[in-house]
Amino acid sequence: MEIKINFKENKFVAAKFGKVNGIEGWLSVNIYLTASSGIDKFSNFYINNKATNLLFKKKGKKVLCKIEGVNDIDTAKQYVGSEIFVDKKELPKLVEGQYYYNDLLGLSVRIKNKKIGEIIDVQNHGAGDYLTIKREKDEILVPLINDHVISIELSKRILNLNPDYYEF
């Protein structure tokens, strides 16, 4: 199973601003896309729910971004930590077995048709994707791999766990 990144409503979180880079308002960018070089392929960008023109450039292994109208370090600092959104309609179509994080949030988690909880978060911990499942009294982390997840039925809003690994 492969997971793609989170989006809200009809927008997709493609990146997040890091530190200011230089005195002319450039910011480093943490890109959440599978191919970091593809962020400049999107047509529209949104920061703080406002359409914004962005310019990207590579500096070594880093990607830097310049926000139109931001030309100094003090103004750029206001954007550190802000997320960069793109239109959901510009996202690539996924093949079977791929999901966007947001598609998984709120799914009912079941073992042998018995509801044990709900997905409240999806994270990547370096070795792979993990689901945070909120149960009645606690939370559990479940690796998003075929051994642990038997099936995902987005139309029914259900994720089925392997009973060989989990009790209810």
Q: Regarding predicted confidence, which is higher, 2 or 108?
A: 108
Domain with CATH 2.40.30.60 in the chain: 2-93
For residue range 55-86, list pLDDT tens digits in order.
Answer: 999 998 889 999 999 999 999 999 999 999 99
The whole-angstrom separation of Cα 98 and Cα 72 is: 41
- Residue appearing with tokens 């979180």: 13
User: How high is the pLDDT of residue 36?
Assistant: 54
Per-residue confidence band for 5, with pLDDT thresholds at 50, 70 and 90: low
Reported as a single tens digit per residue, the pLDDT across 107-153 is 999 999 999 999 999 887 778 899 999 999 999 999 999 999 999 99
Residue 7 has pLDDT above 70, yes or no: no
Report field, pTM of the whole predicted structure over 0.75 = no
Domain 105-161, what architecture? Roll (2.30)
**CATH superfamily of the domain spanning 2-93:** RimM (2.40.30.60)
- Provide CATH 2.30.30.240 ranges for the chain: 105-161
Q: Note the pLDDT of residue 1.
A: 61
CA–CA distances in Å: residue 117 to residues 80, 100, 110, 154: 35, 20, 7, 16
Express each pLDDT in 26-63 by its tens digit. 999 988 776 655 788 899 999 988 999 999 999 988 89
